[in-house]
Copies of this chain bind each other. A is one copy, B any other.
Amino acid sequence: MTPTITAFERSPDRGKGLARDMRVRWALEEVGQPYDVRLLSFGEMKEPAHRALHPFGQIPTYEEGDLALFESGAIVLHIAQRHAGLLPADANSRTRAIAWMFAALNTVEPPIVERTMATLLERDKTWFDERQRMVEARVRDHLGQLSDRLGDADWLDGAFSAGDLLMVTVLQRLKGSGMLDEYPNLAAYVARGEARPAFKRAFDAQLAVFTAASTA
């Protein structure tokens, strides 16, 4: 059964692949699962029909037969548990790969999103520069620890996993900040993720949506 995901009709990042449907598209491409996409305007995302699927009125969602899911992390985990390719076979290794999924979303991502939110919502405030330096110190704390753990390995724990997939998408949010380049092994890690054919197919698919919307 072909699953259907939702994505922005016109992504606010202008096709840079930072919207959370990218994570799901990438996971589906890694496991070779075709999918359909239903595009939503910002208005449609807040309407009852979509809120029934996603209580917080966001994208992506995932529909597959009787199953309706929200939260990109949960959708990626579901895909990884259903198909080979995103989680190791050994039980302990599998559990550790899932731990890296939570680390990406619950430890590394929050201050990175906080930095982006401030850029969007607080740039004209008197406190912006001083406070942004404080937020960036929190981001750097995590980057330093993550860089130490990664060392010269290709991926966080053995073969590429759903944990790496989420961590790479989280770190991509720092592009343009210069911070990633302070940790050359992390910059190379992100580049390694982006070089995967499945990433490229997913990226091109989300970019095509933005390009079509812009020329319509």
Interface string of A80-113 (1 = CB under 8 A from B): 0000000000001001101101110111011001
**Copies assembled:** 2
Interface string of A60-82 (1 = CB under 8 A from B): 00000011111111110110000
Is A133 in contact with chain B by the CB < 8 A criterion?
no
Q: Which of A51, A96, A142, A148 has the most CB of B within 10 A?
A: A96
**Cα distance, A126 to B70, chains bound together (Å):** 39
Q: Are A102 and B127 in contact (CB under 8 A)?
A: no
The A156-184 residues at the B interface (CB cut-off 8 A) are: none
> In the complex, how many angstroms separate the beta carbon of A36 from the nearest chain B beta carbon?
19
Q: Is the interface of A mostly helix, strand, loop or mixed?
A: helix
Q: Are B103 and A110 in contact (CB under 8 A)?
A: no
Select A71's contact among B70, B103, B130, beta carbons within 8 Å: B103
Is A9 in contact with chain B by the CB < 8 A criterion?
no
Chain B residues lying within 8 Å of A72, measured Cβ to Cβ, are: 102, 106
Is A131 in contact with chain B by the CB < 8 A criterion?
yes
Is A149 in contact with chain B by the CB < 8 A criterion?
yes
Chain B residues lying within 8 Å of A99, measured Cβ to Cβ, are: 69-71, 74-75
Given contacts A55-B145, A67-B92, A74-B95, contact A122 B114 (CB under 8 A): no
Select A95's contact among B78, B113, B127, beta carbons within 8 Å: B78
14 A-B residue pairs with Cβ-Cβ distance under 8 Å, sorted by A, are A55-B145, A55-B146, A56-B103, A58-B107, A68-B96, A69-B96, A71-B107, A72-B102, A74-B99, A77-B102, A110-B110, A121-B134, A122-B131, A126-B127
